[in-house]
Structure 1
Amino acid sequence: MNAYSESRPEFDFIDWIKKQVTLRPEVKLGIGDDAAILSHQPNREWVTAIDVITEGVHFTSETPPELIGRKALAINLSDIAAMAADPVAVFLGIVLPKSCGRAYAEQLYAGIFEMANEYELSIAGGDTNSWSGPLVLNVTVMGTVEQGKAILRSGANAGDWIFVTGPLGGSLASGRHLTFEPKLKEAKILAQHFHITSMLDLSDGLASDARHIASQSGVGMIVDTQSLPIHTDVNPDLPEAERVQHAMSDGEDFELLLTVSPEEGERLLSEGIQLGVAVTKIGECTEEVGMKLQSGDALIDWPRGGWEHEV
């Protein structure tokens, strides 16, 4: 301790965090001042994602703190992946229950450090507080993407094929929502080798999230229930209609949903696995606005489902 420092638990904790952080070149000033200073290379632009997760909604009081910290960062990285961006820095706002001590906070950060180190981004700042309520984490991730190259939800066209990067359903019940890997590698391969017209990450469930692309692109969608990849976490003994409902509505799969032209779709199916990304075609975008499921020879109404945020 130097002559100007004061030993206080809050400052000691900040110093503990700071000692474990590696700064990327883009982070000119990180933890320790009133604000961080970031820069980026020419012809790059910032992409920013923010998520809040809360005890009792996104995890339980029994969830290990390392997994809570891991998930808090992973879901933001999933948003960065959906824009085909590269993560750079993370800012953390954490409100701890007063019943949790320093050891719990360190375990929480251990999960955050694990993800930050794996994906080479810097913890550049934040704030920690305590209150009499449940644990709340507010995470902001900043990344960069080549100017004009971010993949949006609004670019799908009628006739585009719809793909998903992995199986859906059962994430919450199995605990997979705590341990998933954000699809940063897959997004980078897709963006580099194929013309992706729209993309998002499936956080609230296919039944809910697919509507965002359809609405913002001004298209309809038909998804074939027989083509849906249903995760093994969904009980195989359930009737097929219930298994489809789980795949559509459980949420927190954090796979990528994307659209491409039929020509690019053929190429994606033939070359994707060799490049390191496996995808499944699940449907097509239509000129007629509206959401439908293809079940055998029948077109049925798109189900309500997925996570609905009450505001």
Structure 2
Amino acid sequence: MEREFIEWLTATLPASPLLKVGLGDDAAVLNWAAAGGDLVAATDTVTDRVDFHLHEIEPRRAGHKALAVNLSDMAAMAAEPVAALVSLVLPQKGCGQRSARQLAEELFRGMLPLAEEFGCVIAGGDTNLWDGPLAVSVTLLGRVGRAGPLTRSGARRGEAVLVTGACGGSILGRHLDVQPRVREALTLRAEHGATAAIDVSDGLALDASRLAAASGCGVALDVAAIPISPDAGQLAQQTGRTPLQHALGDGEDFELVFTAPIEEAERLVAEQPLDVPVTRIGRCVDAAGLWKVDAGGRLEPLRPTGFLHGQK
């Protein structure tokens, strides 16, 4: 199966001047001098029954998500994706009416449009079979943008906290149809003075608290300003939780929470230069931790709800 699949991949994947040695050898060789800039590396794994339910979706959506979540990590660093290594651990018997090889092909068909959109060559990977569920692991290599990397640790007291898009209710479909904010991040870093960022993978509240901890400051959220996805409202009707609770804690929105100087934040909100809305949702404060601002402007502790790996 593997030889035939590699032959199919070789015929399917587009050529790239960055790729000196590609599929079929023991390792890929990239012309990194042509890529330029510092190397940025990210890796993430998605698994059937954890990140999606393969019997309920088209495999292409699983493939899309596997690459997209890594692209979202690149976005959080304001890095340009260059090349991906994709490893598949396939169920021996395939899935439904699809054989293991057919499943593998469909997964790649879900990745290829996204790779092309962001100029990312799929340089190689690995394929294996077992009796367990599907797992897809992607290692993504990128280069730092011209303004340097964004990290979680660059926020400073007095800066504004902002978010792209809207949050909450991603389980209704957006957790699969991830839209990485790579172009937005590069623009925010180069043209709007963004100082720190994190992508909302585990929950807006939890990820904002992680940014605060890494930066050695606190984050105070104006919860009334948080942009809530219509999906959060729809989900709230089923769960009994509020739309705000879903926006704060659901995760897998893959939007960017970032910080910027106040004047830049005001300009961003006024001009809205990105293809996705930007909302100011808080500020960085001296007091460590996560806070919300009450009606009188006082700070109250806010629990950093979200998804913690290894906990139920």
Within a 5 Å distance, the mapping from 1:1-311 to structure 2 comes to 9-38=1-30, 39-41=32-34, 44-61=37-54, 62-100=56-94, 101=99, 102-146=101-145, 149-172=148-171, 174-235=172-233, 242-271=242-271, 273-274=272-273, 276-297=275-296, 299-310=299-310
Write out per-residue CA displacement over residues 77-123 of structure 1, whole angstroms, 9 at most, x where no aligned residue.
01111111111111011101111012222111110112112222111
Give TM-score, length-normalised by structure 2: 0.91
| Post-superposition offset of 1:147 | 6.8
Q: For each residue in 1:223-272, what CA deviation from the matched residue of structure 2 results, as whole angstroms up to 9, or x when unmatched?
A: 0110010000012675997221100100000001100111221222233x
| Alpha-carbon distance, 1:302 to partner | 1.4
Q: Deviations over 1:175-214 (max 9, x none)?
A: 1111121111211221221111101111111121112211
Residue equivalent to 1:5? none
Q: Report how far residue 274 of structure 1 moved.
A: 3.7
Whole-angstrom CA distance in 1 between matches of 2:25 and 2:169 = 43
**Greater shift after overlay, 107-116 or 145-154?**
145-154
CA contact (8 A) 2:233 2:242 kept: no
Residues of 2 paired with 1:214 and 1:25: CA distance? 40
Count matched residues. 301
TM-score (norm 1): 0.91
User: Unaligned regions of 5+ residues in structure 2, if any?
Assistant: none
What is the alpha-carbon distance in structure 2 between the residues aligned to residue 169 and residue 275 of structure 1?
21
**Structure 1, gaps ≥5 residues long:** 1-8
| Aligned residue type for 2:179 | E
Q: 1:131 & 1:166 partners in 2: Cα distance? A: 39
Contact kept? 2:146, 2:190, Cα under 8 Å: no
Cα distance change on mapping 1:185 and 1:147 into 2, 3 Å: closer
Residue 218 of structure 1, CA deviation:
0.2
| Distance of aligned partners of 1:146 and 1:175 in 2 relative to their CA distance in 1, 3 Å threshold | closer
CA contact (8 A) 2:292 2:302 kept: yes
Q: Letter of the aligned partner of 1:112 in structure 2? A: M
> Residues 10 and 240 of structure 1: is their aligned pair in 2 closer, same or farther, counting only changes over 3 Å?
closer
SS of equivalent to 2:161:
strand
Structure 1 Cα separation of the partners of residues 240 and 57 of structure 2: 31
Distance in 2 (CA, whole Å) between partners of 1:218 and 1:231 is 30
Rounded Cα–Cα distance in structure 2 between residues aligned with 1:24 and 1:196: 31
Task: Report the CA distance between 1:146 and its aligned residue.
Answer: 4.0
Percent sequence identity over aligned pairs: 42
Q: CA deviation at 1:23?
A: 3.4
1:137-171 Cα offsets, whole Å, 9 max, x none, are: 11111111147701111000000100000110000
